[in-house]
Amino acid sequence: MLAKLAFGNMRKLVHDYAVYFLTLVMGVAVFYAFNTISVQADFLTNTVSELLKQVGQILRGVTIFLAVIMGFLMVYANNFLMRRRKKELGLYQVLGMRAGQVNAILTLETLMVALASFVVGIALGALVSQLLLFVTADMFATKVTHFRFFFSPQALALTFGCFALTFLVMMVLNSISLSRVRLVDLMSSARKNERQFVRHLPLSLALAVAGLLLMGYAYWRLTTQGFPLGSSSDPGATTTSDFLLTTAIVVVGTFVFFYGFAGALTLVLARLRGFYWRGLHMFTTRQIASRVNTAAVSMGMISLILFFAMTSMTSGMSICSTLNKMYEKGTPFDASVTVVGTSYKGSTIDFAGAAKRAGVSLPSVGKTSTMRLAIVSNSRGIMTIDTLHDMSRLTGRSIPSGFEHTVAYQAVSLSDYNAYRKFLGLRPVTLEDGHYLYLCNMDQLTDFVNAALAKGYAINASGHRLTPARATAIDDASCVLLNDSIGSNPGTYVVPDAVAAKLPNYTWNLNVKYKVSTEKGDDAIKRVRDTLAAENDSLYVSSNTKTESAVEGTTTTGLISYMAIYIGFVLVIACAAILAIQQLSSASDAASGYRTLSELGCPERTIFGSLRAQVTFAFALPLVVGLAHSICATAAVNKVLTTFGYASILENVGLGLVIFALVYGGYLVLTYRLAHRTVKGAIRSARHAL
């Protein structure tokens, strides 16, 4: 009997549970699909397979974190639905049911929703995971070798554990909530208003303004101080305490703003009499203020979670795009071997001899280029970008933020540099005695460096005073002197051969473009590197092949992409679901008001226009606040990345925004359609009664 009653309730409440059910299905599907990455590794190449297993372990930790957040949001949504049904639950007790029987009905309803959503979600997730396999292969620059339909018991168990715990908490909280509420409270709940946090309208306006000021101050701190990435010994570096304080300020400001917004909106719009008294604007304003006022805490929380979701998606996808550009720019060769030997007494490193002793013929492996880099210093020691500023007396021009202590002390001889340019297919350059050329390919530094060169910035290299041979830096492909992870060169001096010969050693580079296959070339370079390292303990020898960079790059970008989409998608659907349930409940509660408006002769078009404005505003307000937070945070992330000399990541946020807009906008449209049906039913019932 109780099961039949619970099933009947589910059918009657299908509209209330539609968004709730859809969200749970999507959550289960996404949780399962993204946690099948370890199984996907079995269908890809061995190298990528091992990397994917490591990524899978990280994603399992992320899943638990997301499950906790989504669990809190789902528990809140469940409590919101419970408040709507208090009168119904009280009526059961009036008719003679015991509290235990009512609780059993709620438990059965929760189990029905859980079972149905879990089964449908796993089925959908199994299909999505098959498609995700090919997306994974594309992200990690590999191919699917032997595709077949797969299912992951591990992902199923993890997903079941996360959602089972959430539903268990829901059932316990429902039971506790029902046992603590008196029957008279249940029966009169429909006539009770939610607790109003702020009633005094001028105070509400003051709180809203205070919230905006706090958020603005937090934005200013973040954009000027940035993230705590500098050295703790640097007196000008942002500390973790500074960053935590900024975070606390923006969180407090967000909640203060939402506490005061409802009253501030009413106070401001009521003063605009031409607008306030036209049509249903007064009714709409009051409804919006009531919805915001009763859900101030949840809206503040949702805006912060949306901020985190948007920042994760947009910044994550943009960082991946930037890292890909860094890989393309930073690995122009098939392989590079670097020998660091500041205490080495010789002036050359015999790469060819070491290769021969390793059983490798470098000419047979590929086209090669060698280069010696020396150290240029001055009376202050290591030369940095602020040295250019001080010594060239650039009054009125500040150093680009983040570059003050960037080193620029490498020097290369004209002969080595021209040989390198020939290796790259570039024309050689000329340089007269007493002059130098400056290499710099970092966009953020170019204008500043050129200004210093135009001022005649002079250096002292081994007793020789050198001045710029030209007023602009060289910024072509010759700035990338070897394979590295960044491909940016803040400053390298090209000096006459006689001057370079007197400068202390820094490194020797060997760059190779293969004639042989990648596997054979990588093996040969590894043997050359090991031979050089074994022959001289005072030398630090390393190599960087395009293959290694590709694996490292695809692992990093693939992991970031997965986490960005995973975190952003789950949080967005959870927040959108909470807003949807709130608005559907509010529309149901206000049905009698809409019925009265219809009985008074108000056109349906006007009524539904008011409803559309209320639903849109409820979705837009936390989105606007979260978007403002996200723009500020993304600008700070962009500032960090541009210090490496790459274009703004703001150019690459399109995909993240499209995904976000589809999910969030889809929930908005669905919510309005369901609310429209509820209000339309109330209006039609009133007309039938007449």
pLDDT, greater one: 182 or 41 = 41
Residue ranges of alpha helices (H) inside 97-239 are 99-139, 153-180, 183-187, 201-225
CB 208 within 8 A of CB 625: no
Q: Looking at the predicted structure, is the pLDDT value of residue 20 above 80? A: no
Q: Looking at the predicted structure, is the pLDDT value of residue 216 above 90? A: yes
Tell how strand 435-439 and strand 459-461 pair up: unpaired
Predicted pLDDT at 662? 83
State mean pLDDT over 372-383.
71
pLDDT more than 90, % of the chain:
20
pLDDT, greater one: 500 or 397 = 500
State mean pLDDT over 122-139.
80
Q: Looking at the predicted structure, is the pLDDT value of residue 196 above 60? A: no
Predicted pLDDT at 197? 45
Predicted pLDDT at 288? 85
Rounded CA-CA distance 18/16 in Å is: 6
Predicted pLDDT at 689? 47
Predicted pLDDT at 495? 93
Predicted pLDDT at 369? 92
Concatenated DSSP letters for 487-531? ---S-EEEE-HHHHHHSPEEEEEEEEEESS-HHHHHHHHHHHHHH
Q: Looking at the predicted structure, is the pLDDT value of residue 378 above 80? A: no
Rounded CA-CA distance 302/575 in Å is: 6
pLDDT, greater one: 214 or 109 = 214
Rounded CA-CA distance 81/378 in Å is: 72
Residue where the block lists tokens 């060769």: 333
Q: Looking at the predicted structure, is the pLDDT value of residue 166 above 80? A: no
Q: Looking at the predicted structure, is the pLDDT value of residue 203 above 80? A: yes
Which region among 15-24, 189-198, 359-368, 554-563 has the lowest average model confidence (pLDDT)? 189-198
Q: How confident is the model at residue 342 (pLDDT cuts 50, 70, 90)?
A: confident
Q: How confident is the model at residue 12 (pLDDT cuts 50, 70, 90)?
A: low
Q: pLDDT, tens digit, for every residue of 544-578?
A: 888 877 766 666 666 777 777 778 888 888 888 88
Rounded CA-CA distance 429/431 in Å is: 7
Q: Looking at the predicted structure, is the pLDDT value of residue 36 above 90? A: no
State mean pLDDT over 79-101.
68
Q: Looking at the predicted structure, is the pLDDT value of residue 193 above 90? A: no
CB 152 within 8 A of CB 59: no
Q: What is the mean pLDDT of the chain?
A: 79
State mean pLDDT over 663-682.
87
Burial 628-656 (b: 16+ CB within 10 A, else e): bbbbbbbbbbbbebbbbbbebbeebbebb
Rounded CA-CA distance 303/113 in Å is: 27
